[in-house]
Structure 1
Amino acid sequence: MSRGMRAAAALGTALLASTALAHPPEAGVHDDARKWTVAPIVAWPSPAESAEPQDAARKPAQASIFDAFGPFVKTRFDERWLYVESDGLPHAPLETTMMVGIRAWQQQVPLPQPYVGANAWQIPLRPELADRPILGKNALMRGAVALAANGIPIFNALNNGGRDSSQIGELDEFGGHCGRGDDYHYHAAPLAIEKIVGKGRPIAYALDGFPVHGLFDPKAKKGDDLACPCGSHEPLDELNGHFCEVPAGEGIGGGTRSYHYHASKTFPYINGGLRGKVELEGTGNESQVIPQPRANGVRPALPPLRGASITGFEQVGPKAWSLRYEVGGRASFVNYRVEDGGKVIFEFVGPDGEKRVEEHMPRARGGRAGSGGPPRARPAVGPPSGIVLSSAGVGADGLLDRRHTCDGASVSPPFAWTGVPAGTKGIALTIHHVTPDDLERIYLVRYGIPADVASIAEGDASVGKFGLNNVGRRAEYAPPCSQGPGEKTYVATVYALSKEPTLATATPTRDELLAAVKDITLATGTLELRYARTPGAGGAEAPRQDGGRGGRGDRGDRGTLIARMTSFKTDVPAHDHDVVLVRPTRSSTSASIVASTSRSGFVEFWRDGEPARRTTPEQRMASRTAATFVMDGLVPDATYRYRFGWRTEPGAAPQFGEEGSFDTVRSPGKPFTFAVQADSHLDQGVTPAAYERTLLNIREEDADFLVDLGDTFMTDKRGAEFRRAEAQYDAQRHWFGVACRSMPLFMVLGNHDGEKGGSGGRDGEMPGWSHAMRTARFPAPEIGDASGGMYSGRTGMADGRAANYYAFEWGDALCVVLDPFWPTTERIRGGAGGGGQRGGGEGGGGGPREPLKPVDGSWASTLGREQYDWLQRTLTASKAIHKFVFIHHLVGGMGGAESRGGVESVPYFEWGGMNADGSDGFAARRPGWPMPVHDLLVKHGVSAVFHGHDHLYVHGERDGIHYQCVPQPGNLSGGTRSAADYGYASGKILGSPGHVRVRVAPDAATVEFVRTAIDAAAAEANGTVVDSYRIVPRRTVSPGAMQDRPERRGPRKGPPPDGIVKPAMSDTMRGAMYADNWFAMWINGRLVAVDSIDFLPHNVVSVDLLPEYPMTIAVLAKDNADPATGCEYGRQVGDGGFILKFADGTVTNASWKAKCIMHGPIGGKADDPKVRTEPAPEGWQLPGFDDASWANASEYTQERIDPKQPFFEHDFAGAKWIWTSDLDLDNTVLLRTRVEKPGWKPRWTTKPDLDATVR
């Protein structure tokens, strides 16, 4: 039974429980606990804020369900709105528990909220239908979508990460939990409310004004518990709603037709979106309805507490509560109370009785809206499972044996289980782990285990079937390999099933398996597998023995949760000061200097070989705070020397640091060298000695400057504790000082550096804080006149929004730094988890890895129009011979939010213009933009694009542009296994560590991969050039040559000498088909698609097709009918249906031809079934077949076909459901059409490598 289904069994939502407290109250307190709920916790607004009592006779009908919860809920109204006030706590006259049962807890607790006065909930009194419904699966993941009758908001069933809150353990037994503002809300329908508001009445109102009723069965008769209160038998639409007839004047617009939603036991549990008109704030998944109240949090949002489960929650005073949770079987408590002034006092009691107290004051009104996943109360029922899961691979200390991990033999552990309930028909088994940044890693998915099997031996892969892990995306056991210090917890779960699950694929993911078993699970059992990796494993360093450090580091206070889970190597050698050169212009270079103690400082500088010396103005320097000294009056094409000087007190003799040198900006025609590095991370995979060696290599090359491609500070990896990244900003000062005391540093933002546009640069939030940290320590180039015209772009903060894109010329090169992070304000949805961790080992099924693929959610990633137009102007104006672009990762890329890949990722989204299915999406997605980014670069003769992100060295070429992925500088174990996962299929691929060196001359630029090694016996010695290539200058391309370039769809390196051009994957187009219930499809006589599932469950088949026009499409479609009777499910008459859409615009409709070859039961007589069949005409699937005698296909409505959930997950817009004229009795049909494309010519000159034909 799903958590949403269990919600139906709950009998109330009071803040009462019988759970023992950390410090139990005096005798009798619990017996008298009802007295704590006699009044709302939050004071009601004054008459100035809330309206005077209103005429009860005029009170709208919508108010009645809320009035049932008075005095805890109050209502008022005007001509347009019903205003609902509450304190955000689910009071009710029944004793039940909230919060209990939550297994994915982010450490929030329920606090009263001021949903009163101007911050009250607003329900439209006269709802109107919107032109287009808003689907909750694509939007509305921030705020509430409905308001329950007890004054508690109801959020989208998908949490703000796009995951089903009910399925991942975020909810209590009643479908609720707390958001980041400690605000309680639901993500599933609070069905117990129906017992209080009355049968047949709404349990909530959606924020579009339409009511939400309880459960619905279209077959129920009026008056039954599951009947529609309006008497409608119309099936629910994808929003969980339907229309019904109501008395005249009560319907929409005063008519007789109305609309409402129903709750359900399966996703989406509540209204799956909004059918009525609303105003939205934000776009896509980040949108929310406005107006709606704001939660009033008192403390920062906290990270998830892994392995915790809430086992008790109780109100112990008028404004006091206690929450009990367990980690590893040991109980801890959060006791808290709200004082009269609003202060909240928290007492945290650990498993050993240690206590910690925190005090927080409410934030000012108008703060962040409450969001996040809800926890709920568990009714007094028996234990959820009688299964006991155990493993001989777990020691007495609870730790998983090393041989079952990647540090050992990688063999799957043994498992045994007892207590399987009667009626069990099959067993499933999974292992998963949730990472510090809230990602799920799936190590085992196993199903099809016979019910009489009670154990699986170590390494035994013969029992049952394997689904896909997401570590290596293989159908096998993936050994735990999580990095970082401290223990990690992996949860093994066994499921007893009432029947074998119906799956759309033979190798399901864990999410797919859980969706298939949620309604057939009789019982479950869990076992925690804990493991702490050996110091030094996986590239992590062993602890230092000397105890010394130079930087502040973030090791000193690793007692907090995030610090225990993630290791960042921020300790640096002791040093007096560090120098990083920044902001070079045509006449100056600046030195950013941090000193370990307060002093007065200055810089003395002189041109190499000349005696005259100059000094910058002396300035007071605070300890450990960067100061910038401008060395001006410089000339181009020269070498300068300098040294940092300081006085410890006024009048004292100056002291001087080590001499340094640098080269000034080059004039055209002058050769020079620059270096590029990426993804220094300073995390558990980095060896600091290797990172230092890379920086020394760069310094010894006498480069003019260094470009760092980002993921330098890893700010967002700290989650809510992002301020701890300050230690990493300071540590990087030291490391960059190794090389950049001799050359200026140019920084590119990375996806983990905390600077993103989603929440802007507001004070106290990660993006603005990260921007301030970076620019204070590494001053960004000044734009325009401030730099003497050296730089264009934008690098500062304005109106709460920052940016980091800029361009400059150096010698014969234009250098362009791009920033896709600040302009991207919408979260990228979809995609698979990244590869790169190793999986496999014994006990696996040996399934194939699946490379990341493009996902249309990547259209959310953008440079923004302002930056795009600036880029176009910059490229157009520049006369430089070489043009280099620097970006952390391409805009879009493979795998949705993963954003992976190089030349194979170029064709897609904003960078290349194509949708994930290969169709052209640029004009629709970027209306008014001249062309995709790649085409813009091609047009203006860009030489190379340098990017990082994938931790590899990969060199590829497309349309004359070199795409260079830059390796990590300090990861000694950097291999190439992840390359295929990330979509790389061509080019030179090598592993880290090292850096890229670029030697620029007027006639050519030479790019070299310089290896880093710290072991004298390494296969490739330190400093070895392991790959190199030349880039010759490119000319710009005329606008006419950019029109309709077919090579955009495939890699091109010039026509081969023999004239043979093979088709590439990017030449294909995506096709999607759905049949009720099975089909096979031929194109021009070749079999190209066969439904992989015989009949059930319903599924969508997607294929990549190589177009060939004219194109004859032939389909054999079958309903799920017994060929002997024409009936399905015994003696029932079913129906068929087929729909198709190709990326070229081809769709099913009545222009298709249709012929029945199996009909039955004749006359619809299911009690005496007979069938009529005929053979398929010879050659019916071939292009030359004459189908003129066939009838045209008949079109059917979506309501008539009633497709299942997979249909709604794909784009079939414009396509029609088709069949023969008898949808019910024609069980096997043939369908044909011919698609013409006059003048079409293929780009390729060979036939496809695979020609699957019918035998």
Structure 2
Amino acid sequence: MKYVAKNRAYTVSAVLLIGLLVLAACQAVPAMEAPPAKDKKAGAAGGGVSDTSRPASDYRAITGGAFLAPCIVARPTDRSVVVSVVPGEEVLAYVEYRAEGSQQVLRTETALLGGGKPHEIPIEGLEKDTRYYYGLMYKSASDTDFKPADSGTFMTQRSEGSTFTFGVQGDSHPERPQQFDPALYMRTMQNAREYDPDFYLTSGDDFSIEKLGKITQEGVEGLYLEQRRYLGVIGNSSPLFIVNGNHENTARYLIDGRADNPAVWGQNARNAYFPQPAPDAFYSGDPEYVEHIGLLRDYFAFTWGDALFVVIDYYWHSMIPVDTSLAGGDKNGDPWLKTIDDNQYAWLKKTLEESTSKYKFVFTHHVLGFGRGGTDLASLYEWGGYGKNGKWEFAEKRPGWGMPIHELMAENGVTIFFQGHDHVFVRQELDGVTYQTLPLPADPYRTLYFASAYEAETKLAGPGHVRVTVAPDAVTLDYIASRIDSMSGEIMNDEVVHSYTLFAKE
């Protein structure tokens, strides 16, 4: 159904809606209110899983609402955004919205939404570089009148010269109790939400399917719904960009022509519960159509303010398992067969070379898609051109590419390359490119994972996430710690434990 903005004759006071976001205390709070005061009670050393956490799967019971997860905003452009909702039952729904500083409230058309699956409500005709406030209104079969379900805010594309923030997190791994505490993850979401980032990126391994036992479509979709209940806390007001990881097993090697396939289930769930960009007038990206999926939406790029943002993917473009293998394949196959492929490389080259942005950020799950380390691996295979034996093999193995990926980033002034996979905060630099490895966002034991794989001065354990402030003259990256009351130590929740600034290149 097409949604059209319509003028409404009432004032903004009529659209101040109750937000139904889950917070650590598991209470609903108004999403349009100022964020809660910073919690400075919890510390750093020591460990242990919180015994007061409550699963995000309690979302519907807590809110008493008709929706299975918070609504999120997605695919922002200069003129539009998508609001994604997951009703638990059939409802009539529409979205009201207004620009900051305006008393004029607009709305989408009312739509009938089926229960138990995600739906997208597009909002179009917006103004560039503008903050909007929105509210979701709904009516179920038992209701006489429409009532508020959720509310939030979002920004349209920033203009050049603007200052803005975005957030990034490392692997969340909800399937691993030794690396994931629900209350701690919720605290990370709250910390990120507090500074109103324009958008928020993951780095993969958020939907690990191999621990499901018998893998079914229902089980796979359940992982994405459960993660939506956490990421919805930040995604309610900061659009989410989801990077593919090895444990998702949304990967080319599994495709066999059948719809009844874990990779198909996973990619379709990802794009349904977390709407991602497809190539259009605002985003560039993967044009490939895959049977039973459609457009993959796995790699893409866009410009925001003075910065270019680029997401790349290994797993949908390698014919063999890159790392994790579900089908009994050998993940230790020839590393030269693990690739972003010719088409993605050509797109990446064109995107970087044609961009005039002052800053350029590149995101993927990991250098090469496998292994441990950052710049420590940057000389190898298609990333650096050398084989494991130390011989230059790039010209033979990647004819027509011109240069390895790292050199391509360095030649085109990439500011920061972001990766996850190794579960540790590490900052490195090579040829003017900062390599930033991301920590776990919910690790209750604060383990310094894979530190020996890195040659670096700065190595810090999780949990926490990264905030990046982009300003006309510099980029500042802050590592923000997450803590809950059961954690002792000196570092407090929401504390910046490491920070650095990169000045704009001439």
| TM value normalised by structure 2 | 0.82
Determine whether 1:906 maps to 2:382: no
The DSSP-based 3-state class of the residue aligned with 2:215 is: helix
1:61-105 per-residue CA deviation (whole Å, 9 max, x = no partner) reads xxxxxxxxxxxxxxxxxxxxxxxxxxxxxxxxxxxxxxxxxxxxx
Q: Residue 743 of structure 1 aligns with which residue?
A: 238
Determine which of 709, 728, 731 is the counterpart of 2:203.
Answer: 709
Q: Secondary structure at the match of 1:550?
A: helix
Q: What pairs with 1:45-64 in structure 2 (closer than 5 Å)?
A: none
One-letter amino acid matched to 2:321? R
**Residue 720 of structure 1: how far off its partner (Å):** 4.5
Residues 812 and 881, structure 1, Cα contact 8 Å, conserved in 2 = yes
Alignment of 1:874 with 2:345, yes or no, is no
Aligned partners of 2:100 and 2:132 also within 8 Å? yes
C-alpha separation between the residues in 2 aligned to 1:775 and 1:649? 28
Query: Matches of 2:414 and 2:360 in 1, distance apart?
Result: 5
Distance of 1:1018 and 1:574 partners within structure 2: 37
Aligned residue type for 2:118: A
C-alpha distance in 1 between matches for 2:490 and 2:120: 43
Q: Deviations over 1:897-933 (max 9, x none)?
A: x522111111111111111122111112112221100
C-alpha distance after superposition, 1:865-914 (max 9, x if no partner): 0000000111111100000000011115xxxxx52211111111111111
Deviations 1:452-485 (A, max 9, x none): xxxxxxxxxxxxxxxxxxxxxxxxxxxxxxxxxx
**Aligned twin of 2:420:** 948
Structure 1 residues 590 and 549, CA, compared in 2 at 3 Å: closer, same or farther?
closer
* CA distance in 1 between partners of 2:277 and 2:163 (Å): 23
| Equivalent pair of 1:780/1:795 in contact (CA under 8 Å) | no
Any idea what SS the aligned residue of 1:1034 has? coil
Amino acid corresponding to residue 734 of structure 1 in structure 2: R
2:504 corresponds in structure 1 to 1033
Deviations 1:1137-1159 (A, max 9, x none): xxxxxxxxxxxxxxxxxxxxxxx
The secondary structure found in structure 2 opposite 1:659 is strand
Unmatched 5+ residue regions in structure 1?
1-536, 553-570, 831-854, 893-897, 1036-1255
Answer yes or no: is 1:964 the counterpart of 2:453.
no
CA gap of 1:780–1:945, structure 2 versus 1, over 3 A, is same
Task: From the superposition, tell whether residues 1033 and 800 of structure 1 become closer, same or farther in structure 2 (CA, over 3 Å).
Answer: farther
- CA distance, structure 2, for counterparts of residue 547 and residue 1005 of structure 1: 36
- 2:316 matched to 1:808? no
Equivalences, count: 445
What residue identity is the alignment partner of 2:311? V
CA distance in 1, matches of 2:213, 2:472: 47
More helix, by proportion: 2
User: What letter corresponds to residue 807 of structure 1 in structure 2?
Assistant: A
Supply the AA of the counterpart residue of 1:681: H
Structure-1 residue corresponding to 2:42: none
Query: Does the aligned pair in 2 maintain the 1:572–1:731 contact within 8 Å?
Result: no
Match of 2:491 in 1: 1020
1:584 and 2:76 equivalent?
A: yes
Q: Distance in 2 between matches of 1:782 and 1:939?
A: 27
694 and 572 in structure 1: CA distance in 2 versus 1, 3 angstrom threshold:
farther
Q: CA RMSD in A?
A: 2.6
Deviations 1:20-73 (A, max 9, x none): xxxxxxxxxxxxxxxxxxxxxxxxxxxxxxxxxxxxxxxxxxxxxxxxxxxxxx
What are the within-5 Å matches in structure 2 for residues 311-390 of structure 1?
none
Q: Deviations over 1:677-708 (max 9, x none)?
A: 12112122200111000111111011100011
Q: Displacement, 1:550?
A: 2.3
**C-alpha displacement at 1:574, in angstroms?**
6.7
Return closer, same or farther for 1:742/1:621 CA change in 2, 3 Å cut-off. Answer: same
Q: What is aligned with 1:97?
A: none
Query: What's 2:277 paired with?
Result: 781
Report how far residue 860 of structure 1 moved: 2.2
Per-residue CA deviations over 1:184-211 (Å, capped at 9, x if unaligned) read xxxxxxxxxxxxxxxxxxxxxxxxxxxx
1:618 to 103, 110, 113: 110
Distance 2:55 2:150 in 1: 27
Is the 8 Å Cα contact of residues 975 and 992 (structure 1) preserved in structure 2? yes
Larger radius of gyration: 1
SS of alignment partner, residue 58 of structure 2:
coil
**1:802-841 superposed matches below 5 A:** 802=296, 804-828=298-322
| 1:771 lines up with 2:267 in the alignment | yes
Aligned match of 1:550: 58
Instruction: Name the CA shift for 1:612/1:751 in 2 (closer, same or farther; >3 Å).
Output: same
Distance 1:899 1:719, change over 3 A: farther
Aligned pairs for 1:420-819 (under 5 A) are 550=58, 576-577=66-67, 578-649=70-141, 652-683=144-175, 684=177, 685-718=179-212, 720-723=214-217, 724-760=219-255, 762-784=258-280, 789-794=281-286, 797-799=289-291, 802=296, 804-819=298-313
Residue 728 of structure 1 deviates from its aligned partner by 1.5
Corresponding letter in the other structure for 1:782: A
Identical-residue share of aligned pairs (%) = 35
1:1005 matched to 2:475: yes
1:109-167 Cα deviation digits (max 9, x unpaired): xxxxxxxxxxxxxxxxxxxxxxxxxxxxxxxxxxxxxxxxxxxxxxxxxxxxxxxxxxx
1:979-1035 alpha-carbon deviations (Å, 9 max, x no partner)? 11xx21223100000001100012110011001111274321111111111122336
CA change 1:722–1:1007 in 2 (3 A) is farther
**Among 870, 880, 886, the residue aligned to 2:363:** 886
1:919 to 388, 391, 411: 391
Q: Deviations over 1:1092-1134 (max 9, x none)?
A: xxxxxxxxxxxxxxxxxxxxxxxxxxxxxxxxxxxxxxxxxxx
Amino acid at match of 2:444: L
Amino acid at match of 1:860: L
C-alpha displacement of 1:596:
2.5
Does the aligned pair in 1 maintain the 2:184–2:444 contact within 8 Å?
yes
1:539-595, Cα deviation, whole Å (9 max, x unpaired): 566698x9995269xxxxxxxxxxxxxxxxxx9987543211101111011110112
Task: Note if contact 2:438-2:466 (Cα within 8 Å) is conserved in structure 1.
Answer: yes
Q: CA deviation at 1:618?
A: 1.1
Q: How many Å separate the matches in 1 of 2:371 and 2:317?
A: 16
Cα shift at 1:740 = 1.1
Partner of 1:988: 458
Tell me how far 1:656 sits from its aligned partner: 1.0
Distance across 2 between alignment mates of 1:770 and 1:585: 26
Q: CA deviation at 1:719?
A: 5.6
